[in-house]
Amino acid sequence: MAARAYWQGQIRLALVSIPVEIYPATRSGAAISFRQIHEPTGKPISYEKVVQGVGPVDRDEIFKGFEISKGNYVLLEEEEIEAVKIESRKTLELVQFVESDAIDVLYYEKPYFVVPADDLAEEAYAVLRDALRQTKKVGLGQLSVRGREQLVSLKPCGRGLVLEVLRYADEVTRAQTYFRNLPDDKADADLLDLATTIIEKKTAPFKPEEFHDRYVDALQRLIEKKKKAKGKRVIEDVEEPASAKGGNVIDLMAALKKSVGDGGKAAPAKKAPAKAAATRTRTSAKRKSA
């Protein structure tokens, strides 16, 4: 079955309009969902709409409510909500352009492929794609879909264009909220050399097909075992993660050297900091006395 377009319309750049179709660039993974089952009968459990102290209620008695204070709600009808939805427009106007690296990764939400709607649109489409690539810019605009406006970016991708839905500013938490209390100290030079050596050794082309959700794989194996066991209990063996040991400079240095291999010979030897050297001396003395 051919993919269904998420949006059809035209991209407008000043007085130029380009008819396009937009398709999802991602799909749901192999997630496994569960239903709650009544074990004695094997039947799925269903839920009723109930009000505490009243019991089950009719669907036409249910409104949407926005809580303005504890226990106090503003009630809205579906017709009222529909009335304030943004009218779906068939034009995505590019109102601003920014440097390709100016948008923080936290703002990106979901990608879509943008393709010309017909042969006549291909020339203008190619001009826009190549102009964005040559200027190293990203186009910004707002797309009206299903009654809401989405902030989107447009950038070249191979022979085509990719549109990415962006989060609005109030949807993104500032990084300083979590990072402000972290120390601003520079990393130890010896440790940094070892860490960069490990990174260089493990650097390779990105091949997404080599990565799998091991939790989903394990669940699928368990489900297959349960099917073959015909109701008998099956327990999966789970490997316990190795417990982390000490976090001081000596342990970190040893772990990095072991990761590099050959006792850390791949990294250039440098003079250890005075504090670390003193710690090693005290450690050696304790071992001899023992």
Helix (H, G, I), strand (E, B) or coil at 41: coil
Partners of residue 73 on adjacent β-strands: 67
17-63 pLDDT, tens digit per residue, is 999 999 999 887 767 788 888 888 888 988 888 888 888 888 888 88
Contact in structure between 259 and 202 (CB atoms under 8 Å): no
pLDDT grade for 242, boundaries at 50, 70 and 90: low
Average pLDDT, the chain: 81
Residues of the chain with pLDDT > 70, as a percent, come to 81
User: What is the pLDDT at residue 290?
Assistant: 41
Average pLDDT over residues 82-106: 86
pLDDT grade for 266, boundaries at 50, 70 and 90: very low
172-186 pLDDT, tens digit per residue, is 998 888 888 888 888
Instruction: Go through the chain and tell me how many residues it has.
Output: 290
Give the global pTM. 0.67
Q: Where are the alpha helices (DSSP H) in 20-109?
A: 78-83
> Whose CA is closest to 9, among 131, 93, 123?
93
135-155 pLDDT, tens digit per residue, is 999 999 999 888 788 999 999
211-241 pLDDT, tens digit per residue, is 877 888 888 888 888 888 776 665 655 555 5
Of the segments 74-78, 82-86, 128-132, which one has the largest average pLDDT value?
Answer: 128-132
Compute the distance between CA of residue 61 and CA of residue 119 in angstroms, rounded to an integer. Answer: 52
